[in-house]
């Protein structure tokens, strides 16, 4: 920690942030923002051209991929930027101040996630990086249980372990029953890990995390929660959910700059070799007598979170995550959730009024969900439909298999070998292809964006596209 008192950080950084947030040009943030409306985000006034002529304010409805940065986060980062310095190993004032800010950010995330006192918060690059880190520290012989419905970030890192891939459940109760049966058949003496999402990145449906955690622990297994799609929409408490680890990404939590988090129990992390070897992870390095074997040196690794944070940390990315955690907490998750659920209702009811639209779901219409909805349209190639939404209406959605290929194949009723991949449709516009359309939104989404989206879907299905489209380098684009 810093040789300077933490008050120095409060004086130098917080005062600047306060001045920035209260300037006449700054949008209201945190508790001062109108929580009955969207939180201020960057890009809310960006206009884009339409192929049919003119411009329109861009409707960003691809939050599940990357959410726009909160204005509050951007202001906080801008206020800190003049004080930017190296972290942990610098003697100068700015380095010491940046180190304090980095470690305070760790404490903020620890509190945001409701971690246990002994839990560690490790900063990574993303959810994918966090889960690959955990995969690298699994004890020998560990068996991993994962549903086929997971995002690839949760499905693929365990390939060097003994993996049991579980069939897609059709109810939350079936998910728990499926896991319990699989765990009952495992070797009771070896280590085991369950990996499960909190909210699907395809259907938005919430998974029974607490019940799955109870089933895992009853059978001597541990559980890691992929909260990439849950944390931006709902409060997440490691303690209340009783999970062993949680992973999420800053870029989905309204925080840019490419940082992520793995938080939870320290023992497996501290018993394993560092995920990356290098400066920061090591406490002491000495040349071995004779200089032979194992790189010619002896290493004593850190036992703190630094063990898996080798290299120069992304202090701005880490600070942006902490800022987003504070902003969402201050805005109040109850209000944010209530408003988002109203948007979910409007979109689902609007799509249900179009007979050609089929919403994809595992658990059914009544399942609780976040602002992530995927669907297909009869008679349309999904990539063609998404391209028309963008080019003719200024609406940004996503099409493809959403890095959850087995799940989307299951929802579309296709065989595992049927052609299709993310962002690369084989079919021409108007022809069926193995892909879907995803609309996603959150705390920064204005009402007008979802209303424009629902109206555009209805108009495209009724009247067809106004422009011609072609496939170019795997993407459906307007024909020139």
Give 390's pLDDT tier (boundaries 50, 70, 90): very high
Cα–Cα distance for residue pair 321/315, rounded to 1 Å? 10
At residue 427, the pLDDT reads 59
Task: Share the mean pLDDT of the chain.
Answer: 90
The pLDDT of residue 264 is above 70: yes
Can 115 be counted among the known catalytic residues?
no
The 10 Å Cβ neighbour count of residue 473 is: 6
pTM: 0.91
The pLDDT tens digits for 88-127 are: 878 899 999 999 999 999 999 999 999 999 999 999 999 9
Cα–Cα distance for residue pair 207/454, rounded to 1 Å? 27
The pLDDT tens digits for 292-342 are: 666 788 999 988 888 888 889 999 999 999 999 999 999 999 999 999 999
Give 474's pLDDT tier (boundaries 50, 70, 90): confident
Cα–Cα distance for residue pair 315/93, rounded to 1 Å? 15
Give 21's pLDDT tier (boundaries 50, 70, 90): very low
Cα–Cα distance for residue pair 412/286, rounded to 1 Å? 58
Handedness of CA 439, 442, 445, 451 (dihedral sign): positive
At residue 411, the pLDDT reads 95
Cα–Cα distance for residue pair 357/354, rounded to 1 Å? 6
Active-site hit among 142, 195, 403, 476: 403
Cα–Cα distance for residue pair 444/41, rounded to 1 Å? 6
Helix axes 447-463, 333-352, angle to 10 degrees: 10
The pLDDT tens digits for 391-443 are: 999 999 999 999 999 999 999 987 665 555 454 455 556 555 689 999 999 99
């Amino acid at each position: 920690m810093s040789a300077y008192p933490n008050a120095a950080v409060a004086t130098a950084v917080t005062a600047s942030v306060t001045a920035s947030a209260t300037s006449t040009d700054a949008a209201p943030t945190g508790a001062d923002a109108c929580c009955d409306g969207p939180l201020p985000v960057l890009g809310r006034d960006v206009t884009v051209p339409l192929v049919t002529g003119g411009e329109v304010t861009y409707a960003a409805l691809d939050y599940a991929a990357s959410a726009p940065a909160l204005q509050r986060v951007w202001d906080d980062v801008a206020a800190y930027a003049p004080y930017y310095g190296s972290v942990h190993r610098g003697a100068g004032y700015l380095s010491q101040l940046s180190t304090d800010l980095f470690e305070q950010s760790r404490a903020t995330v620890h509190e945001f996630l409701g971690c246990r006192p002994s839990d560690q918060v490790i900063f990574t690059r993303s959810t994918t990086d966090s889960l690959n880190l955990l995969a690298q520290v699994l004890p020998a012989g560990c068996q991993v249980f994962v549903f086929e419905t997971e995002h690839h970030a949760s499905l693929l890192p365990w390939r060097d372990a003994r993996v049991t891939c579980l069939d897609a459940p059709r109810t939350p109760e079936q998910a728990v029953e499926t896991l319990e049966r699989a765990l009952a058949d495992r070797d009771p003496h070896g280590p085991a890990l369950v990996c499960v999402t909190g909210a699907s990145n395809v259907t938005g449906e919430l998974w029974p995390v607490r019940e799955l955690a109870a089933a895992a622990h009853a059978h001597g297994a541990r559980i890691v929660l992929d909260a990439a799609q849950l944390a931006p929409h709902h409060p997440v408490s490691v303690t209340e959910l009783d999970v062993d680890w949680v992973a999420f990404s800053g870029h989905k939590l309204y925080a840019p700059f490419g940082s992520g988090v793995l938080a939870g129990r320290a023992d497996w992390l501290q018993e394993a070799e560092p995920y990356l070897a290098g400066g920061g992870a090591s406490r002491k390095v000495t040349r071995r007598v004779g200089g032979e074997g194992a790189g010619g040196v002896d290493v004593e690794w850190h036992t703190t979170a630094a063990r898996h944070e080798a290299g120069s940390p992304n202090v701005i990315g880490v600070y942006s995550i902490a800022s987003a955690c504070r902003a969402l907490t201050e805005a109040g998750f109850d209000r944010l959730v209530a408003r988002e659920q109203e948007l979910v209702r409007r979109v689902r009811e609007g799509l249900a009024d179009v007979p050609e639209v089929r919403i994809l779901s595992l658990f059914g219409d009544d399942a609780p969900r976040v602002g992530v909805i995927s669907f297909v349209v009869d008679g349309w190639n999904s990539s063609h439909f998404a391209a028309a939404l963008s080019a003719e209406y200024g609406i940004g959605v996503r099409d493809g298999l959403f890095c959850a290929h087995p799940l989307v194949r299951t929802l579309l009723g296709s065989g595992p070998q049927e052609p299709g991949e993310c962002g690369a449709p084989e079919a021409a516009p108007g022809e069926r292809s193995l892909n879907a359309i995803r609309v996603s939104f959150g705390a920064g989404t204005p009402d007008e964006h979802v209303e424009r989206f629902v109206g555009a879907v209805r108009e495209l299905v009724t009247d067809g596209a106004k422009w011609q489209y072609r496939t170019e380098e795997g993407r459906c684009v307007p024909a020139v």
